[in-house]
Every structure is written in C-alpha cells, then in structure tokens.
Amino acid sequence: MRARVTGLGAALIVTGGMLAACGGGDSTVSGVPDSETLAPPPGGSAPTSSRVPASEDSGRFTEAPAPVASDASGFDGPAVGARERGYLETLDREGIETGELQDPLVAAGNTICRIRTTGGAAEETTTIADAVAGQIVAGGYTDLEVDQVSRIVVDASAGQLCP
C-alpha cells in the first residue's frame, strides 16, 4: 500500500515538473546574465570583470553535498488547514478514499489552483487531474472511472482550495 502512495507522489512530482517546465505563459526574462559569451548591450562595452575558467579552482562549491539522513527535518508534506480538510472531505464524500493519499492529493489540488490562478491553460489542469485520477483508480482508492475522478478533483480543488 505504501508503494502505491509513493508511486502516486512520484507521478505528481513528475507531472508538476513537466508543467513547471512549460511555464505560465510569461516569456520575459529577468535578471542579469552571468555569462560573458553574450554580446554586450548596444552602445555598451564588454564586461570588465574576468571570470575564473571552469578548469581553475575558485574555492567555491568544490565538494558534493553529503547525503541527507532519512530522519532529517525538512519537507514533511503540504500544510493541511481548513481549506485542505474541506477539499479532502469533498473527495471522500464523492467516493475517493483519501486517508493514505492526503499529501499527494493536497499537492495536486494546490497545483491545479496555481495553474488556474496564474492563467494556465485548461489542458494543464486536465493533465494534472487525469494523472491523479489514473493513479487513484489504478491504486484501488475508488470504484469510479478515471474521467469521473478527474472531474471531481478539479471541481473540489476549485471549490475548496482555490482563492
């Protein structure tokens, strides 16, 4: 059972990462480039500071980080407040067992809300909801069909989690 929960969490992270890579429709670039391979701005001159070539040791970040212990403090899961409890209760009422899936379901619901509030395409929310629904059905957490679960997840997210 734990393997199914872990699998669902991993699927949500991968799906969320793919959508994050797609961007939110903002094609602007901010910040200052830190590469001298870029041409200087019109009317400007080349940067005067020289960078240390990668082959030379600058003394910074020369060692790989040590492994993190499994009992180290850190991210435990999404916060479950009143909104999240209402969302999970809605899913339970609709026939989706949420007991072992609280963290991945809340993460998926919050991702759906983030997509909706940042102007993401409807296909993005459908992709997340379909991925979650497929895992819920495959894991035996409901007797409903994937398309029904997907609709329930989107509706519950919009009704309970989204501002």
Q: What is the pLDDT of residues 103-118, one digit of tens each?
A: 999 999 999 999 988 8
Closest listed residue to residue 160, CA positions, set 99, 105, 97, 122? 105
With cut-offs at 50, 70 and 90, classify the pLDDT of residue 27.
very low
Side chain identity, residue 75: F
Angstrom distance (rounded) from CA 16 to CA 106: 13
Q: What is the mean pLDDT of residues 35-63?
A: 54
The mean predicted confidence, pLDDT, of the chain is 74
pLDDT for the residue 163 = 79
pLDDT at 82 over 50: yes
End-to-end Cα spacing for the chain:
33
Angstrom distance (rounded) from CA 17 to CA 12: 8
Instruction: Provide CB contacts within 8 A for 67, sequence distance 6+.
Output: none
Angstrom distance (rounded) from CA 149 to CA 42: 55
Choose the weakest-confidence range: 62-71, 98-107, 116-125.
62-71
Instruction: Specify whether the CB–CB gap between 122 and 150 falls below 8 A.
Output: no
Q: Coil, strand or helix: which one is 71? A: coil
Domain edges within the chain: 2-21+81-161
Instruction: Specify whether the CB–CB gap between 132 and 142 falls below 8 A.
Output: no
Owner of token pair 């999970």: 88
pTM, 2 dp: 0.55
